[in-house]
């Protein structure tokens, strides 16, 4: 036996007919129309529902929404049947990508070829790069270094080593039951000592 659709008040249902036309039947409270649905259920509705389905042009397998709605007017309650097509789903928002003009591409290419201020430009095509990476330089010249950059890197390494050493010492002392704390001045002094040793070629 097919399952009968139960309509709860103010609860919309999305359904679809298995056939275009319903069948007139005699109900307990008057004439009704029986529809077979696409999911093999059946529904019994008042003839006004058929009128509304036909007005919307609903055919078999087309989804529709039906709702038994309660209306109030003061102390009086009435029931109205709403029949409508389902709301269309919102289309996804397109992702718009701004085109890059030829001029912009040329500028980007020029910036890549010239470097961003930290990467040296590539050697010219018609000038063979020498071992030191500079076109036209001596064939066996040693690589060129920036003394200030090298000194800064060495100082940074020395200070980082001092911080790590201080932290490790404080942790070890705490495990042994001692309270040891290094101040910023202590770490600075250790870092300077390490830096001087590094500068002298020490370990």
Phi and psi torsions of 96, nearest 5°: -100, 125
Q: Is 113 or 152 the better-scoring residue by pLDDT?
A: 152
The angle subtended at Cα 106 by Cα 105 and Cα 110, nearest 5°, is: 115
Residues 156, 163: contact at Cβ < 8 Å?
no
pLDDT tens readout for residues 96-137? 665 555 555 545 555 554 555 455 555 555 544 444 444 444
Contact 33, 83 (CB under 8 A): no
Predicted confidence (pLDDT) at residue 174 exceeds the cutoff of 70: yes
Average pLDDT over residues 140-155: 61
Q: Write out pLDDT tens, residues 9-55.
A: 999 999 999 999 999 998 787 899 999 999 999 999 999 999 999 99
What pLDDT was estimated at residue 166?
A: 83
Is 38 in contact with 90 (CB distance < 8 Å)?
no
Over the stretch 61-107, which tens digit does the pLDDT of each residue have?
999 999 999 988 888 999 999 999 998 877 677 666 655 555 555 45
What pLDDT was estimated at residue 49? Answer: 95
The one-character DSSP state at 200 is T
Decide if pLDDT at 149 tops 80: no
pLDDT at 60 over 80: yes
The pLDDT assigned to 135 comes to 47
Tokens of 75: 């102390």
What's this model's pTM, rounded to 2 decimal places? Answer: 0.44
Higher pLDDT, 166 or 23: 23
CA 117 to CA 178: how far, in whole Å? 50
Averaged pLDDT, 131-154: 55
pLDDT for 69 equals: 93
CA–CA separation, 8 and 80 (whole Å): 12
- The pLDDT score that the predictor gives to residue 18 is 96
What's the pLDDT score for residue 197? 78
């Amino acid at each position: 036996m097919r399952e009968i659709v139960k309509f709860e008040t103010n609860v919309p249902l999305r359904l679809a007919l298995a056939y275009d036309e319903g069948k007139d039947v005699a109900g307990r409270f008057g004439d009704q129309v029986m529809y077979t649905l696409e999911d093999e259920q059946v529904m019994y509705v008042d003839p006004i529902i058929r009128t509304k389905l036909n007005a919307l042009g609903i055919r078999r397998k087309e989804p529709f929404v039906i709702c038994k709605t309660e209306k109030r007017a003061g102390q009086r309650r009435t029931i109205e049947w709403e029949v409508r097509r389902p709301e269309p789903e919102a289309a996804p928002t397109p992702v718009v990508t701004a085109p890059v003009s030829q001029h912009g591409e040329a500028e980007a290419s020029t910036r890549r070829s010239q470097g961003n201020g930290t990467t040296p430009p590539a050697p010219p095509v018609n000038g063979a790069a020498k071992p030191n990476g500079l076109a036209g330089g001596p064939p066996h010249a040693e690589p060129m270094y920036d003394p200030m950059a090298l000194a800064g890197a060495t100082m940074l390494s020395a200070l980082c080593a001092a911080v790590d050493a201080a932290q490790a010492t404080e942790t070890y002392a705490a495990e042994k039951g001692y309270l040891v704390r290094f101040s910023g001045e202590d770490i600075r002094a250790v870092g300077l000592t390490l830096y001087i040793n590094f500068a002298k070629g020490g370990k």
